[in-house]
Amino acid sequence: MEVTIFGSGYVGLVTGACLAEAGNNVLCVDVDERKIAVLNAGGVPIFEPGLEDMLRRNKEAGRIAFSTDLAQGVAHGLFQFIAVGTPPDEDGSADLRHVLSVAKTIGEHIEGYRIVVDKSTVPVGTADRVAEAIGAAQAARHTAHEFDVVSNPEFLKEGAAIEDFMRPDRIIVGTDNPRTGELLRALYAPFNRSHDRLMLMDVRSAELTKYAANAMLATKISFMNELSNIAEAVGADIEKVRVGIGSDPRIGYQFIYPGCGYGGSCFPKDVRALERTATEIGYPPMLLQAVEAVNARQKDVLFAKISGYFDGALAGKTFALWGLAFKPNTDDMREASSRRLMEQLWDAGARVRAFDPVAGEEAQRIYGDRADLVLVDDQEAALEGADALAIVTEWTQFRSPDFAAVKARLKSPVVFDGRNIFDHGQVTGAGLDYVSIGRGLMPGR
């Protein structure tokens, strides 16, 4: 099938690559000339495991192409995917300018039936606004070509997006036109073979499903972080509590790991956007507000532990940070806990030596050159001249270090584990103090 993807960011590139992998003819369109130049040269502007190889393979096969020509994009595909960014506005609502700009473009160039697919994460009611924008643009040029607007939210985990798209646990399609639903079913048939994962529903329910899913996962994380602070105060070990409650199949083990707060491009933005939607209709979203408040407070916990350990005397000290991305297997630092910690350390007069397997360039882009930040090429180099070590991202390669070597390099023998990835006995057995999250029975030093 002929498919156009507007937006060559994270969602757009993964969607385009996977649809091309299934044999479709895909055109990815973006107004960012630099990004399209990188893609046409064989590069990838984001890090996602497996994406670069998949794009190269399908580009060589002629199944995917990249362009800045908006009119060409509208002419190309029966399916017009909108996969542009919806950044949070100042009031927390989703900024739909880019989505509606694409809709206007479609209306300005449409010459035959098109299925417009909202892939971006958008508030309930956005499909109506997209349809209005397309209709208004057509009216201005005195045309009235038929089109349908579909909600088809993405459920891609950064770091596992290719697997999530190729082997989805559900494919949500919101449409009020049965014919359109069957055309989407045909497009997704290669990803839906072992059993039917495609769920047809009305448009507004599909739009809300995406926000509901992310808000539920964020709620689980904030609940465990809240519980970890209680456990620490009463002398319990949150890791033992986690295993105890996770064994209940009604709860399960996913998303109940305590830590130093969630970040990324989805959970913070989507919780706030859903909160804003509820407020606009006059419903006070108390639980959503609490989820966000707990997460904001949790991002201060690691700094509070570091400051408490050193009795507030952080000026002039150097801290090694392992991990900058908001989670493993991505270079995304949007609202990452590392950013909050580094900025607090800098405000206290401390310096940072940081390592992340893939997010170093992103940190350099965000912070530029500054005397109190050194970005290094391996985790051992981060320890050079450091007073203490803090773990902020749970990359697999951080899980089994030589603790004796870590102790030998640190001026103060202490590890602050913001993700609880280490065993207390192993760390302390090497002569290191170990400070983690929600483990009240473990001495600070």
Catalytic residues: 266
* Cα separation, 40 vs 56, whole angstroms: 10
Please give the single-letter amino acid code of residue 71. Answer: A
DSSP 222-243: HHHHHHHHHHHHHT-BHHHHHH
Which is nearest to 388 in space by CA: 402, 359, 409, 419? 409
Cβ(164)–Cβ(155) below 8 Å: yes
For the chain, how big is the Rg over CA atoms in Å? 24
Q: Which of 405, 407, 408, 351 is nearest to 376 (CA)?
A: 351
The set of long-range contacts for 405-408, using a CB threshold of 8 Å and a minimum separation of 24, is 405/380, 406/430, 406/432, 407/431, 407/432
The 8-class DSSP code of residue 174 comes to E
H or E stretch at 158: none
Residues facing residue 12 across a β-bridge: none
CA distances from 383 to 162, 259, 263, 319, 344 (A): 34, 22, 25, 8, 19
Q: What DSSP line would sit under 2-22, residue for residue?
A: EEEEE--SHHHHHHHHHHHHT
- Give the CA distances from residue 210 to residues 11, 158, 268, in Å, rounded to whole numbers and listed in that order: 14, 15, 13
Place of tokens 């602070």: 229
Q: In the chain, what's the furthest Cα-to-Cα distance?
A: 78
Structure tokens at 130: 């997209």
Query: Which token pair is 340?
Result: 């909050």
How many CB atoms sit inside 10 A of residue 389's CB?
26
Which residue in 440, 445, 379 sits closest to 414, CA to CA?
Answer: 445
